Structure 1
């Protein structure tokens, strides 16, 4: 097996993508935050002391996507053309489902940016709600769709994906 991020001396390196063609790249990731029903009600009614949880989580997710290369060592610094965050309040399961859709026209994909966006949004929800619910669980962080690049399109089996 040939490692792409290891040089001939066994040291880490960032892959050179300079010769690759610029193409449209899209990635969609999801995550969930499970909480007590009373906590979910407080979020939905915007009654959390720290403020509007989902509005702050939305901005945090966008910032997370933009700063991915600063925290994930082998990620390229990518010019993002769009980041869209969506939140679904699931009362039946006392859960908030998070989705990030990230786009660029470039030489490398945006999967890590989408995954980072939902992770940061989930952590922000946790931070803003932890005073009333320390039992929250962040789970199911996953890539559900990717378009573009040499490997083409990927759709996670069993996911309902719009667009």
Structure 2
């Protein structure tokens, strides 16, 4: 089983994804670790990525998911996966079974969170481009991020099939 925890930067994907993986005894994959140095430099400079930047990144994540599937390991993936085509690239129908958790929240709340974190290459100035790119999923478990990480985790665990 693959669980994709998705949302814009600052929505809490990494925090929630790591906690979810731990609760489920699953492997945790952080999509940010798959970005090329060029992508990181571009985002650090406040330049939004485009699809030509994202396809190789998504393919690298997909290869890691394939390895996990081949080894019969459950995975929680924290990844923005902003467009439906990106989610289909990560969870192609008939190839990888997965659930999508969409961490959704208001722009002001997310901007506050982004402004309060340190050590991340994604500047808050890129939030508007993330929100503009976002295609909310139709087939996801939608979680309001206004609550704390513990409440979010509890809500996700209650909605997942056992």
| Shorter-chain TM-score range | under 0.3
TM-score, structure 1 as length reference: 0.25
Structure with the larger helix share:
2
TM-score, structure 2 as length reference: 0.25
Structure with the larger strand share:
1
